[in-house]
Amino acid sequence: MDIEQIIQELKEYSGPELKIMEVCGTHTSSIFRSGIRSLISHKIKLISGPGCPVCVTPASYIDRCVDYSKREQHVLMTFGDMMKVPGMGGSLSCAKGEGAKVELMYSPLKVIEKAKENPDIVYIIAGVGFETTIPAYALTIEEAARQGIKNIRLLTALKLIMPALNWICENEDGIDGFICPGHVSVIIGSNAYELTAQRYEKPFVVAGFEPEHILAAIYDIVRQLRTKKHKGFYVHNLYKNAVRTEGNQKAQEIIDRCFEPGDAVWRGFGMIKDSGLYLKPEYADYDAGSKGLDSDIRLPESCRCGDVIIGRINPDECPMFGKACNPLTPYGPCMVSSEGACGIWHRNTN
Amino acid sequence: MRINMSHGSGGKASAELMNNIFGKHFSNSILNKMEDAAVLELHGRIACSTDSFVVTPIVYKGGDIGKLSVCGTVNDLLMMGAEPKYITAGFILEEGLKLSLLDNIVSSMARTAAAAGVVIIAGDTKVVEGKGGIYINTAGIGSIPEGREISAGNCDEGDVILLSGTLGDHHACILSARMGIDNNIMSDCAILNPIVNTLFKNGIKVKAMRDVTRGGLGTVLNEIADMSRCGIEIIEEALPARPEVRSFCDILGLDPLYMGNEGKMVAVIAAEDGEKALELMKKTAPGREAALIARVIIGKGVIMKTRLGGSRIVDVLYGEGLPRIC
């Protein structure tokens, strides 16, 4: 079936209203950039899920980052998206304006060189991310340990996607099917979704990031939901050139060597059991105090950040969207991050 | 040898700096008089622009802060249909700046000014504490020939919009250098005289011009749409960008539509002259990858027709384009 036929069928869809969640922020961005919503029936609703690691990071984590950045002889290393996320005491961007030492990184491994060049400075790496980025943190810590480097610490808010998807399936009835996150699936494999798909009877489709891939995934989900010939639904992998059934086992081993699961707070969800990763006891010297950063910002009552992350409402249904909360003065992280649902909506709609 | 506070004292060290570096490269009959102000003869309508340059790194692939400081002001004058004539240069030098590096930067300014046909007629130098950095302000004036009416408020339905080349090169080059990412992306920093001159020389009906700098194409087209009270429809497939810049943007979560250039422009052209203007642009060095990328339509704001036939709104850039997390 070629892409024109897929678009045609999705445009003419006239069955019951369907809600499909794209879990990954890169998918959300691609959906907007290619105008996919304008190509398909308005009866197919695309809901943006929790797949932006910055958006689900609680405020107390940001506060700890800010605190480190202001300490003497400390430098906080972070990915760019974290800079503007408001904590309870301001953002890293504000702290930098007040003289705090914050540097952008694109790979945590690069921090090793810095740490060797400046042995008197303690480098705190803000470790935020899902399975995709976690191996890089693990390799950094292993390398630091191997070389005996003592002036690197990891402040983690690392999260696992499956506990969050299970939480959504358990707590939210409304989602009919899921477009699985592409990059995370490379690591965890398409098999990771099987149990959830069978238990909650929902289709899970792994897709790449080109608009054609996403349209094919939507079509696959719609077809599964419409035919319902079989008991239960299937995990379909439409991104086979990158995602294997069993995932990247080497990356999984690297993660397992350094990290162990523990409870973690997700902004908008609350505490989810064993959904976070923390350094194992043998690497405890490299931890910057990552556990117990549970409390979240007191957002204004009208802020519906949590409902957006779960996919209960679209960003523009929040009363603060585009008004008090906008990309220049964001309240919630979903407006700050380039992968956050609110930020993406705001940039691409008016 | 490095800059120290005595170079800003106004005394002997300042005079040496003036003679050995600035005088050597910028020498011309107006500047050489060394009066308190340059005296110029100009007639008719004058365009005037100023810009400050604070880029780090000071030297990057495809240019340096000196070249950039001349290109930026010259291009701003050109975009108003003016013929750039004179520029001034103010330098703020940080202690510790290597004199050899300053010499290279000033020499680069002189070469770029000569190529752009502008004369550097006044200057100033201050020295501040710091770590060997340099900041440059340039201001320029140019004369607008009779009959040229260029404004972002001039556009009408049916006009076509040409982009002079690939998006995002300068921004991606600077960001790569700052983040220590090794690649071959070069800045596109360039003067746009060849493009503007050929359009006017050949009688093309140019309505508006803008150089695509900070904020990127998305922001520039929104400004034009606002000022002309019209809509603009971008054709996604027509947008030129180098594959390496696209990949760089994909990795960091940036959009070439909002990446700055320093040697690219858009020109809004009356529909009947569109094809001819594109051919002319392509024959120039800075415009050889030019493309017709959008049309002016009735309506408001900027929309994009996507490759698959969808449409979406293109807003202005909000805040700073920070790289995303994964």
Among candidates A132, A348, A350 on the partner chain, residue whose Cβ is nearest the Cβ of B326: A132
Is residue B61 over pLDDT 60? yes
Is residue B163 over pLDDT 70? yes
Å between B204 CA and nearest CA of chain A: 34
Question: Could you tell me the pLDDT band of residue A301, with boundaries at 50, 70 and 90?
Answer: confident
Residue B311 near chain A (CB below 8 Å)? yes
Q: Going along A52-173, which residue ranges are E strands?
A: 74-78, 102-104, 122-129, 152-159
Which region among A250-254, A300-304, B128-132, B276-280 has the lowest average model confidence (pLDDT)? Answer: A300-304
Q: How many CA atoms lie within 13 A of A159 on its CB side?
A: 26
Residue A188 falls within a domain, yes or no? no
Å between A318 CA and nearest CA of chain B: 20
B179–A54 C-beta distance less than 8 A: no
Average pLDDT, chain A: 90
With tokens 């556009």, the residue in question is B155
Is residue A208 over pLDDT 60? yes
Is residue A68 over pLDDT 60? yes
Å between A348 CA and nearest CA of chain B: 5
Could you give the CA distance from residue A280 to residue A273 in angstroms, rounded to a whole number? 17
- As given in the structure block, the two tokens for residue A14 are 């006239």
Q: Are A183 and A132 in contact (CB under 8 A)?
A: yes
Could you give the CA distance from residue B129 to residue A148 in angstroms, rounded to a whole number? 37
Could you give the CA distance from residue B108 to residue B99 in angstroms, rounded to a whole number? 14
- Measure CA B91 to chain center: 19
Q: For residue range A101-147, what is the model confidence (pLDDT) as tens digits?
A: 999 888 899 999 999 999 999 999 999 999 999 999 999 999 999 99
Is residue B120 over pLDDT 50? yes
Q: What is the pLDDT of residue B143?
A: 96
Range of the structural domain that residue A117 is part of: 59-160+247-286
Residue A263 falls within a domain, yes or no? yes
Q: What is the pLDDT of residue A230?
A: 58
Which region among B33-42, B51-60, B137-146, B228-237 has the lowest average model confidence (pLDDT)? Answer: B33-42
A327–B311 C-beta distance less than 8 A: no
Q: What is the pLDDT of residue A308?
A: 83
Is residue A211 over pLDDT 50? yes
- As given in the structure block, the two tokens for residue B313 are 């709104």
Q: What is the pLDDT of residue A297?
A: 57
* Closest alpha carbon to A79 in B251, B322, B183: B322
AA identity, residue B48: C
DSSP β-bridge partners for residue A20:
A46, A177
In this prediction, residues B142-157 reach a mean pLDDT of 95
Q: For residue range B272-291, what is the model confidence (pLDDT) as tens digits?
A: 999 999 999 999 999 999 99
- As given in the structure block, the two tokens for residue A149 are 């480097």
B311–A38 C-beta distance less than 8 A: yes
Is residue A268 over pLDDT 90? no
Q: Going along chain B, which residue ranges are E strands?
A: 45-53, 59-60, 63-64, 83-94, 119-128, 134-144, 160-163, 206-211, 231-235, 265-269, 291-297, 301-305, 311-314
Q: Which residues of A touch B252 (CB under 8 A)?
A: 80, 106
Residue B301 near chain A (CB below 8 Å)? yes
B312–A35 C-beta distance less than 8 A: yes
CB atoms within 10 A of CB B36: 6
Q: What is the pLDDT of residue A298?
A: 58
pTM of the entire predicted model: 0.85
B301–A38 C-beta distance less than 8 A: no
In this prediction, residues B33-48 reach a mean pLDDT of 92
- As given in the structure block, the two tokens for residue A101 are 């030492």
Could you give the CA distance from residue A331 to residue B40 in angstroms, rounded to a whole number? 53
- Measure CA A173 to chain center: 21
Residue A253 falls within a domain, yes or no? yes
- As given in the structure block, the two tokens for residue A21 are 């969640």
In this prediction, residues B14-37 reach a mean pLDDT of 91
Residue A83 falls within a domain, yes or no? yes
Q: Which residues of A touch B226 (CB under 8 A)?
A: none
Domains of chain B: 5-144 (3.30.1330.10), 160-314 (3.90.650.10)
Question: Could you tell me the pLDDT band of residue A299, with boundaries at 50, 70 and 90?
Answer: low
Residue A80 near chain B (CB below 8 Å)? yes
Residue A281 falls within a domain, yes or no? yes
| Alpha-helical segments (H) within B56-168 | 65-78, 99-116
With tokens 């001039």, the residue in question is B154
Is residue A196 over pLDDT 90? yes
Q: What is the share, in percent, of chain A residues with pLDDT greater than 70?
A: 96
Q: What is the pLDDT of residue A186?
A: 95
Is residue B219 over pLDDT 60? yes
Q: What is the CATH number of the domain that holds A106?
A: 3.40.50.11740
Question: Could you tell me the pLDDT band of residue A228, with boundaries at 50, 70 and 90?
Answer: confident
Q: Which residue of A has its CA nearest to B257?
A: A33
Q: For residue range B94-108, what is the model confidence (pLDDT) as tens digits?
A: 999 999 999 999 999
Taking CA atoms, B106 is separated from A209, A253, B136, B186, B195, in Å, by 46, 55, 10, 21, 25
Q: What is the pLDDT of residue B245?
A: 96
Å between B74 CA and nearest CA of chain A: 31
Q: How many CA atoms lie within 13 A of B271 on its CB side?
A: 7
Residue A168 falls within a domain, yes or no? no
Residue A65 near chain B (CB below 8 Å)? no
Among candidates B308, B324, B326 on the partner chain, residue whose Cβ is nearest the Cβ of A7: B308
Q: Which residue of A has its CA nearest to B322?
A: A80
Is residue B321 over pLDDT 70? no
Q: What is the pLDDT of residue B326?
A: 42
A338–B322 C-beta distance less than 8 A: yes
Q: Which residue of B has its CA nearest to A345?
A: B313
Please return the burial class of B226, using the count of CB atoms within 10 Å of its CB with bins 0-12, 13-18 and 19+.
middle
Residue B318 near chain A (CB below 8 Å)? yes
| Total count of domains within chain A | 1
B318–A327 C-beta distance less than 8 A: yes
Q: What is the share, in percent, of chain B residues with pLDDT greater than 90?
A: 84
A350–B313 C-beta distance less than 8 A: yes
In this prediction, residues A308-316 reach a mean pLDDT of 82
Question: Could you tell me the pLDDT band of residue A90, with boundaries at 50, 70 and 90?
Answer: confident
B308–A211 C-beta distance less than 8 A: yes
Residue A348 near chain B (CB below 8 Å)? yes
Could you give the CA distance from residue B247 to residue B253 in angstroms, rounded to a whole number? 10
Q: What is the pLDDT of residue B294?
A: 98
Residue A133 falls within a domain, yes or no? yes
Average pLDDT, chain B: 94
Q: Which residue of B has its CA nearest to A211?
A: B308
